Structure 1
Amino acid sequence: MATVDLLVIGGGINGAGIAQCAAAAGYSVLLLERETIAGQTSANSSKLIHGGLRYLESGQLPLVRKSLAERKALLKLAPSLVNPIPFYIPVYENSRRSPWAIRAGLSLYAMLSDFDALGQFKSVPCVNWSKIKGLKLKGLKAVYQYWDAQTDDKMLTQAVIKSARSLGADVLEYAQCTHIEHLQGHSLVRYQYSSMEQEVEALAVVNAAGPWVNQVLETVSPPIASVPIEWVQGSHLLLDIPANDGILYLESCFDKRVIFVMPWKGRTLIGTTETLLSSLGSQPKVTPEEVNYLLGIYSHYFCCFGDVEVLKTRVLDSFCGVRVLPKQAGKAFDRPRDTILKIQPSHPNLLSLYGGKLTTYRTTATEVLDWLEGTIGKRQTLADFDQLVLD
């Protein structure tokens, strides 16, 4: 029977990062992905590497600081995949967030970036407001410009997997975990691959199955308790409208949420929503309500392109991903976005990941590595994780 130090379940960005980090630290790694690498949530995000300006409103300052540090690191490590891009925040007479509040938030954002070059922001002179193609100017009081970064989320995840493989990690697609028997000091894992049942002995197991994290836990024996979660769908629409040169950070006209209007492959991408799901199907779908919500906000700010019904004829594509949030009171918009690492004393060699952000996948990987070293000991390092270039 094959034996590995670490078995990772899930080939999204977190599973990929953990496999890369552990392989660099000298561990033998097997990653199982039941479909294709980055085939679900990690290919359907807003495609941003950012600190998360809006998280300042809910007091998530440590997360923003960590995310801004990771933005800086990824711009260096993945220069062909992660690119700086200007963001614009228009403030209107009826905006909930006043110009002084936006300026205060951007000042804090700059401070949390340790005054990185991308932490700079400015007020855009009114003579330049018309350069934002199609933006409604009536009632506009101010426009602020700051910086974050954009990526192709699927390509980034695939690049991380490529790096992990180069370091010796074994990555299997269309390999579904069917049973995890947690034993003293290791686990016996069964999985389906190439129409056959396979077995592997793993000294440690990381459950990074994203929205399906609790489904994986249902395969564990002895049984293990799971964290109560909610599935929150985030949807995006691609419109046949020429893109602006930057990203618009817009306050929803329906609620206090924020959406982005982004350039994507020369067209205009709008997102995202936060729709609670009562169940999790194999392939999430954008709902009519989400289409009306996103197009309603777009037509509110870019009225020269027509109303919602006209804009529906311009929808080229749509996609959605599912986030995992801890089950608690309050709206999804205000919930913490930190990754939760869950280990239970009864199953010390099994770690489950809940939630997380694309931007902070590397910090999640290093936190898992700390757990791995404490659980099964260190190995001979092969490479410095913080110096691994992605392409």
Structure 2
Amino acid sequence: MSDETTAMIDLLVVGGGINGAGIARDATGRGLSVLLVEQDDLAAHTSSASTKLIHGGLRYLEYGEIRLVHEALVERERLWGMAPHIISPLRFVLPQTQSPRPAWMVRLGLFLYDHLGGRKKLPGTETIRLDRSPYGAGLRDTRGKGFVYSDCRVDDSRLVVLNARDAANRGADIRTHTKLLAARREDGGWVATIVDAAGEQTVRARVLVNAAGPWVTDVLGRVPDAEAHRSVRLVKGSHIVVPRLYAGEHAFMLQNPDRRIVFTIPYQGAFTLVGTTDEPWDGAPADAAISAAETHYLLETVARYFNNAPSEADIVWSYAGIRPLYDDKAGNASAVTRDYVLDLDAGEGRAPMLSVFGGKITTYRKLAEHALGELARFFTEAGAAWTAGAVLPGGDMPGADLDAFVAQLQREWPDLPPALVLRLARAYGTKTRILLGTARVMADLGEDLGGGLTTREVDYLRTHEWARTAEDILYRRSKLALHVPPGTAARLGAYLAQA
């Protein structure tokens, strides 16, 4: 079917990852009309396959990425304040026992890391004796020193959803499972053909924003006269999840003989997340999967450092994502810049198209702000930059104090399991009250589909967060996939099919 729309919107954003959602939010908040289309689910690919950190990128200092690290460090505490329910501080232990870098070099890097970004709330670096500190527990070799520094962890896919939700609250039209088929310039604007389950539709826009991540070049191929002055380099990053490797809520940054680093991060209570790798990728982005060589590399790294070395049989989950990095012609994948480049195609008389190359989760808000700055001359009526410090949905808890907020919720719902209230608070923040509504006991939340996932929560996710499938809910919205009993996915799928 074809439905020709006459009204012209300001921005058509292609891509429902973190950059697309961030740009849609920023633009809508400036008073612009926005349509975002995503061919799959929000955060279905790269943005849910990260190491789940909000960090400055300590290792990028080694490559001279001072501007990127500075910007990321400034954003680190800013994002924490904007979304304290899904972002939290994390201490990282950096053992020197097998370091290919001398201690003075590491300590110098950490000094810069502590001072480049105006750190205010996160604790600074300390030097420890591994054999005398709880931070050394579980390590095979506790001789010598280590360093402990701060960064933050994040629920990556929820960060995307919350940006999309805020954009929608402000007037944006967010459409998942909707693909851009083609776009052409006409009469100073864009005429684009999009398709969803209902068929094809034509939309008109003043500006096209290509934030398709690993598909950025593919989208350019759907525009007949596109001019791109940049290129993307696809790099695969893979992770494994294993039973908890050590006691404590700290993470480790492990230095390998090849000078690459691997993180081990407490994950979902009972597990440890191990990653990442950096491998060139030339296949279809959606086909990314961890290789045997990557699995071996991560397991070998863990075995080199920890007493409790898991085997391949212990892996409970693995995932791989494709990073669409700006191609700076670096010799190896690990050295490719994580900075972003905005490519504006807007010659005289040509409708503007802005393509996003590269970027990382930590700098998404600043990237969006820069993107709107690039487009400002086309929208002289638009408002000023506004997102710095503007809380995301659910983040408006008093004093940004999650612990105090959880305690308050548990007092308000004393007959619900405390662990359930804690999980909901960490996912939905102050929106937990909307989700729970007048429920007082578990029976009020409908059927328990497994692992504490109730039909009340599923209905909330369908209504407010664009969830359609069991995968959307178990792996991206709730992160319950590793905690539910066999059969939950099938029961959930059957429930979703009834709607």
TM over 0.5: yes
Question: What residue in structure 1 maps to residue 418 of structure 2?
Answer: none
Tell me how far apart the structure 2 counterparts of residues 56 and 386 of structure 1 sit (CA, whole Å).
25
In structure 1, C-alpha distance between the alignment counterparts of 2:225 and 2:184, rounded to whole Å: 7
Q: Distance in 1 between matches of 2:63 and 2:351?
A: 33
Task: Specify the alignment match of 2:338 in structure 1.
Answer: 337
CA contact (8 A) 2:285 2:322 kept: no
Go from structure 1 to structure 2 and tell me whether the alpha carbon gap of 1:217 and 1:183 turns closer, same or farther (over 3 Å shift): same
**Partner Cα separation in structure 2 for residue 177 and residue 125 of structure 1:** 56
**Count, aligned residues:** 383
Q: What is the Cα deviation at residue 285 of structure 1?
A: 0.7
Alpha carbon RMSD of aligned pairs, Å?
1.8
Which structure is higher in RCO with an 8 Å CA cutoff and minimum separation 6? 1
**Contact 1:305 1:311 survives alignment (8 Å):** no
Distance 2:389 2:119 in 1: 22
Q: Distance in 1 between matches of 2:351 and 2:85?
A: 39
Residue 11 of structure 1 aligns to a residue whose secondary structure is coil
Gaps of 5+ in 1: none
| 2:36 equivalent to 1:31 | yes
Alignment-derived partner of residue 258 in structure 1: 261
Distance in 2, matches of 1:354 and 1:370, equals 16
What is the CA distance between 1:155 and its match in structure 2?
0.9
Q: What code does the residue aligned with 2:334 have?
A: F
Which residue of 88, 97, 103 corresponds with 2:93? Answer: 88
**CA, structure 1 residues 46+368, in 2 after alignment: closer, same or farther (shift >3 Å)?**
same
Higher radius of gyration, 1 or 2: 2
2:156 paired with 1:153: yes
Answer whether contact 1:86 1:247 (CA < 8 A) is retained: yes
Query: Which residue type is aligned with residue 340 of structure 1?
Result: V
> Which residue number in structure 1 is paired with residue 294 of structure 2?
290
Among 376, 385, 388, the alignment partner of 1:386 is 388
CA distance in 1, matches of 2:15, 2:233: 19
For 2:56, the equivalent position in structure 1 comes to 51
- Following the alignment from structure 2 to structure 1, what is the Cα–Cα distance between the partners of residues 326 and 356? 11
Q: Which residue of 1 aligns with 2:182?
A: 179
Residue in 1 aligned with 2:281? 277
User: 1:320 maps to which residue?
Assistant: 320
- Give the distance between the partners of 1:289 and 1:220, measured in 2 at CA: 38
Indicate the larger mover: 160-169 or 115-124. Answer: 115-124
Which amino acid in the other structure matches residue 305 of structure 2?
Y
Supply the distance in 2 between the matched residues of 1:113 and 1:153 (Cα, whole angstroms). 22
**5, 10, 19: which one aligns with 1:14:** 19
The Cα offsets for residues 175-223 of structure 1, whole Å up to 9 and x where unpaired, read as 0000110235311111002231111110011100000000000010224
Q: Give the structure with the higher percent strand.
A: 1
Whether the 8 Å CA contact 2:342–2:355 is kept in 1: the answer is yes
Offset at residue 115 of structure 1 (A): 4.3
Q: Residue 4 of structure 1 contacts residue 29 of structure 1 at CA under 8 Å; is this kept in 2?
A: yes
Deviation (angstroms), 1:380: 5.1
Alignment of 1:232-251 (within 5 A): 232-243=235-246, 244-251=248-255
Secondary structure (helix, strand or coil) at the match of 1:385 reads coil
Rounded Cα–Cα distance in structure 2 between residues aligned with 1:131 and 1:62: 31
Q: Within 2, Cα distance between the matches of 1:144 and 1:380?
A: 44
User: In 2, Cα distance between the equivalents of 1:281 and 1:356?
Assistant: 17
Equivalent AA in structure 1 for residue 299 of structure 2: L
| Identity between Structure 1 and Structure 2 (%) | 35
User: Which residue identity lines up with residue 365 of structure 2 in the other structure?
Assistant: R
Deviations 1:106-142 (A, max 9, x none): 111112022434261101234434544321125x321
Whichever residue aligns with residue 160 of structure 1, its letter is N
Deviation per residue, 1:209-251 (Å, 9 max, x gap): 0000000000102243463332100000000225541110111
C-alpha distance in 1, partners of 2:336/2:198?
A: 41
Q: Which amino acid aligns with 1:58?
A: Y
Aligned residue for 2:36, secondary structure, equals: strand
Tell me, yes or no, if the aligned pair for 1:111 and 1:119 is still in contact at 8 Å.
no
Alignment of 1:340-379 (within 5 A): 340-346=341-347, 347=350, 349-379=352-382
Distance 1:181 1:159 in 2: 31
Is residue 300 of structure 1 aligned with residue 304 of structure 2?
yes
